[in-house]
């Protein structure tokens, strides 16, 4: 793994020049390569990655995100937080919206579990579901993907953090509403959320539904990790937009595999073969 702290950069991520970045532009000499300098100029104070890529003349679109990543690492640009309509989390839990999945979504979840390759394993309290998120782009090599672990049990949270960090992920944890909102506000947007259901002042289904209604979070893959193992709970999670559902108690290997499958990675970090169901063995 590279020492550099790489992240997944998305087209709709918004960046602004930092004071260091502005100084770099104003200075009479620069150590930046021409393409990085061009991106700094195109950001022009504040811009999304997609907008910058569309205006870039001499840089391949695929390269722009990598340049953003390097500029971010070098402290020349930073994420713009709390943009209205994009990354505003002030009212995350107060916004009105459906408090449960729609009838149609529940029907689709039932159909999915019954008729597609998605395999529902129910052995007592064990349920393991993981489906690759279609919304995410394949991450570039050497990027550290970030996982937000929402778990109120400090021992489990610590274990998840250690295991996922050991797998090369950047891990943040949150145990209640305030910490969830703080984690989202802090940015950058997590690449995946591991979401417990029973939390002290909210529940994971509510968090999931709020995320799916939020313009900045609706595409973030979510794996429910919970001791709520009833069929109704599983279907509710899937109908609410969960990409995976793992019931506690769980095995570490199962968890790591699910995270990799949902992110489109194999257990060793390469693109997954989606023709194979990881739970069918």
Contact call for residue 256 and another protein (CB under 8 A): no
Length in residues, the chain? 281
**Residue 25: both structure tokens together:** 């532009």
Nearest to 173 by CA among 146, 139, 198, 203: 146
Contact call for residue 155 and another protein (CB under 8 A): yes
Between the CA of residue 275 and those of 127, 184, 254, 278, what are the distances in Å? 21, 33, 19, 9
Contact call for residue 153 and another protein (CB under 8 A): yes
Contact call for residue 159 and another protein (CB under 8 A): yes
Contact string (CB under 8 A) for another protein, positions 186-215, x = contact = ------------x-----------------
Cα–Cα distance between 214 and 108 in angstroms, integer?
Answer: 22
Number of Cβ within 10 Å of residue 204's Cβ equals: 26
Binding positions for another protein, 74-133, rule CB under 8 A: 125
Number of Cβ within 10 Å of residue 210's Cβ equals: 25
Interface with another protein (CB under 8 A), residue from 108, 172, 177, 248:
248
Contact call for residue 163 and another protein (CB under 8 A): yes
Choices 15-23, 51-59, 149-157, 271-279; region in contact with another protein by CB under 8 A: 149-157
Interface with another protein (CB under 8 A), residue from 34, 75, 98, 158:
158
Number of H helices, E strands in the chain: 10, 9
Cα–Cα distance between 227 and 216 in angstroms, integer?
Answer: 28
For the CB of residue 162, give the shortest distance to another protein in the complex, in Å: 5
**Residue 8: both structure tokens together:** 């997944």
Contact call for residue 249 and another protein (CB under 8 A): yes
Q: Total number of residues binding another protein (CB under 8 A)?
A: 17
Q: Where are the alpha helices (DSSP H) in 74-176?
A: 103-115, 154-166
Contact call for residue 231 and another protein (CB under 8 A): no
Choices 14-22, 44-52, 157-165, 187-195; region in contact with another protein by CB under 8 A: 157-165
Instruction: Pick between residue 135 and residue 165 the one whose CB is nearest to another protein.
Output: 165
Choices 34-42, 68-76, 184-192, 247-255; region in contact with another protein by CB under 8 A: 247-255
For 131, residues 6+ apart whose C-beta sits below 8 A from its C-beta are: 118, 243, 244, 261, 262
Instruction: Pick between residue 36 and residue 174 the one whose CB is nearest to another protein.
Output: 174
Do 254 and 244 meet the contact criterion of CB atoms below 8 Å apart?
Answer: no
Residues lying near another protein in the complex (CB under 8 A) are found at: 125, 152-153, 155-156, 158-159, 162-163, 165-166, 198, 226-227, 248-250
């Amino acid at each position: 793994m590279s020492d550099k702290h790489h992240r997944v950069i998305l087209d709709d991520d918004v960046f602004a020049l930092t004071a260091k970045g502005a100084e770099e532009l104003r200075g009479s000499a620069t150590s930046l390569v021409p393409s990085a300098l061009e991106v700094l100029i195109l950001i022009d104070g504040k811009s999304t990655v997609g907008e910058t890529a569309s205006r870039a003349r001499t840089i391949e679109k695929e390269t722009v995100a990598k340049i953003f990543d390097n500029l971010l690492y070098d402290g020349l640009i930073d994420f713009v937080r709390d943009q209205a309509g994009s990354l505003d989390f002030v009212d995350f839990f107060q916004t009105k919206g459906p408090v449960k999945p729609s009838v149609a979504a529940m029907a689709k979840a039932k159909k999915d579990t019954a008729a597609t390759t998605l395999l529902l394993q129910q052995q007592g309290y064990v349920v393991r579901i993981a489906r690759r998120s279609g919304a995410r782009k394949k991450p570039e090599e050497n990027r550290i993907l970030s996982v937000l672990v929402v778990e109120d049990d400090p021992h489990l949270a610590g274990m998840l953090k250690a295991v996922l960090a050991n797998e090369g992920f950047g891990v943040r944890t949150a145990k209640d509403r305030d910490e969830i909102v703080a984690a989202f506000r802090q940015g950058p947007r997590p690449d995946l959320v591991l979401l417990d259901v029973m939390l002290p002042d909210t529940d994971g289904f509510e968090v999931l539904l709020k995320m799916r209604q939020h313009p900045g979070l609706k595409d973030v893959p979510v794996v429910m990790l919970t001791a709520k193992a009833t069929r109704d709970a599983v279907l509710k999670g899937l109908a609410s937009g969960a990409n995976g559902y793992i019931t506690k108690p769980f095995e570490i290997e199962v968890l790591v595999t699910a995270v990799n499958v949902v992110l489109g990675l194999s257990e060793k970090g390469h693109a997954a073969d989606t023709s194979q169901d990881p739970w069918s063995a």
